[in-house]
Structure 1
């Protein structure tokens, strides 16, 4: 019996206890095969048991240092614990070992982004958008990175692309508004703050920005 396949099937059916039993059997039968540990690590992540998941991914790496998905899993565990700087190395190793998927570049880019290392984040987030050009969240995060680097025109292009894919993305509207304020286009910025609030009435940043812009425009009109 293929216990790995059986365990994956159980995971997809959300039968997590049965999946754990299958992966345990796979590991017992093939203790030097990293796939059993990787899949068990993935299961533990689904169950939010991050400490145990980390041990399984680390064991997989010990068995096969070239197992890209083991490095990627370890990076995810560290990232989920907010250990962004520690997550960078396993994400980089996953890519070096051939994980040519957008999620690997995206997670590495985010781990730099959340450490405010924007120049380091940019090429990885860019690569993620090249591999997944229809993923609005990847485009959005790349846009945020560009905005942090004061590349406002390019950031606006990304945020508008996000809206083409998902016109209900309130944060894209808000960040378009912020970029437009920097280019002194207050009226256009106000429209996007209103759009953000229409989609998400409790968007506090948009509400605050809207109030400030309305106050400034009113003062401007009174002084004319």
Structure 2
């Protein structure tokens, strides 16, 4: 059992606890220590120290096994390590504890997507959005999952919802442009890729996508310029190198 003085010093170390006395009155010592370890894990994760982060979440869960947030955070840390089976297991445990935990549904959906399980990803992302409809990133990722199913109208609708919530969601603009490209709506694709680049000028995929759209409009000078910009940011992009070569060929620049 922790001595009171030791436990109080441990708790005070974490600057995010502004309402210290409230927590002391309303939480057990185990819960307070678990919360401390969980939040310390978050801090380590923010520094990219994922092994230390994982160890802290595991310790928190030894003390408070039914701590849904720690399970979800552990799943997110496993995701950073590419351990997708463990990711899904932890988010599922969080949802057994709290079935209405939007963050766990969202993260589980992303994990399913990473595994190529698009139907399951769609189901979890939709559940997350039922609980929290205003998460732009969830709409964007739901759109991406729809795209992999060839459901382009649904995909486009989700990107538009994301942009309504957060007009500066560069990924949503880029993906909307890519979806328009698939539907051969090249003017709309150009507009959305440009908007993504207004937000993030170093977005290599958006430069590349804009180049493709220009190519289909016969705008070869603009196409070449965009592939070059994509390669400045990502010099190893084989598709950009290939299409730049094709564009030079189209211009007679052998």
Aligned pair partner of 1:12 in 43, 61, 72: 43
Contact 2:68 2:95 (C-alpha < 8 Å) held by counterparts: yes
Q: Which contiguous aligned blocks of 4+ residues in structure 1 show a shift greater than 6 angstroms?
A: none
Name the counterpart of 1:91: 125
Compute the RMSD of aligned alpha carbons: 2.4
- The answer to which of 145-154 and 126-135 deviates more is 126-135
Name the counterpart of 1:189: 223
Name the counterpart of 1:173: 207
Q: Offset of 1:99 from its aligned partner?
A: 4.7
Q: Write the distance in 2 (CA, Å) between the matches of 1:189 and 1:215.
A: 12
Secondary structure in structure 2 of the residue aligned to 1:100: coil
Q: Write the distance in 2 (CA, Å) between the matches of 1:213 and 1:39.
A: 46
Contact 1:119 1:149 (C-alpha < 8 Å) held by counterparts: no
Task: Say yes or no: does 1:114 pair with 2:145.
Answer: no
Note the alpha carbon deviations across 1:56-97, whole angstroms, 9 max, x for none. 322332343322222112212212222222211011011112
Q: Write the distance in 2 (CA, Å) between the matches of 1:170 and 1:53.
A: 29
Q: Write the distance in 2 (CA, Å) between the matches of 1:127 and 1:206.
A: 30
Contact 1:68 1:99 (C-alpha < 8 Å) held by counterparts: no
Structure 2 segments unaligned to the other structure (5+ residues): 1-28
Aligned residues: 215
Contact 2:88 2:111 (C-alpha < 8 Å) held by counterparts: yes
Name the counterpart of 1:52: 86
Q: CA distance change for structure 1 residues 23 and 158 in 2, over 3 Å: closer, same or farther?
A: same
Q: Offset of 1:158 from its aligned partner?
A: 1.2
Note the alpha carbon deviations across 1:14-48, whole angstroms, 9 max, x for none. 43212310133122xxx3x6444333433433444
Structure 1 segments unaligned to the other structure (5+ residues): 220-224
The TM-score normalised by the length of structure 2 is 0.74
The TM-score normalised by the length of structure 1 is 0.82
Name the counterpart of 1:202: 236
Q: CA distance change for structure 1 residues 91 and 181 in 2, over 3 Å: closer, same or farther?
A: same
Q: CA distance change for structure 1 residues 175 and 89 in 2, over 3 Å: closer, same or farther?
A: same
- The answer to which of 43-52 and 64-73 deviates more is 43-52
